Amino acid sequence: MEALFIDMFSEADLVDLRERFEPTIPPPSTGDAPSEAEPRSFDQAGYRTSLRDRLVQAQPLQGAELRQLAMDRALAAKSHLVQAGGVDDVRIFILEAHPADSSLEGRVLTGLSLTGD
């Protein structure tokens, strides 16, 4: 992911980002009281999340790409239902994709409807 980040931005940007997650050194204690600040370790999870978020923001998808992504997801769900669930594929219909509600904050919903005989 770091190589992709460097390709998209620059090595200097990667260094700047990584420094935000580096361990901090506690300040020297003054007087007789020992310093209560403990050094923290490198925040690997935060670093990876930040890398991913920056890369995702730099790769916005347009309408046609979003519709294709929705279709790919629907086909994957159908394939799983057929292979793992034993559902006859002629009983599964993929409907037109619709834009998501902007209040979902990046979450993707997949709607499934079941009917029985």
Residues 6+ apart with CB under 8 A from 6: 13, 14
Residue at 32 is within a domain: no
- What is the number of structural domains in the chain? 2
Q: Is 49 among the domain residues? A: yes
5 burial (CB, 10 Å; 0-12 / 13-18 / 19+) is buried
Give the tens place of pLDDT for each residue, 13-60.
Answer: 999 999 999 987 766 666 555 555 565 788 999 999 999 999 988 988
pLDDT number for residue 26: 65
DSSP 47-59: HHHHHHHHHHHTS
50 plus 85 within the same structural domain: no
Q: Which residues contact 73 (CB under 8 A, 6 or more apart)?
A: 108, 110
Do 50 and 92 have their domain in common?
no
- Does the residue 69 lie in any domain? yes
On the question of pLDDT at 117 being above 70, the answer is no
Dump pLDDT digits (tens) for 70-87: 889 999 999 999 999 999
Measure the CA–CA gap between 88 and 78, rounded to whole angstroms. Answer: 10
pLDDT at 63 exceeding the cut of 90 = no
Q: 19 and 48: one domain?
A: yes
Q: Is the pLDDT of residue 7 over 60?
A: yes
The model's pLDDT over 85-101, given as tens digits with 9 standing for 90+, comes to 999 989 898 888 777 77
Same structural domain, 70 and 53: no
Residue 109 lies in a domain: no
Provide the pLDDT for residue 83. 96
Residue range(s) defining the domain that contains residue 74: 63-100
Residue 34 lies in a domain: no
In this structure, the answer to whether residues 90 and 52 fall within a common structural domain is no
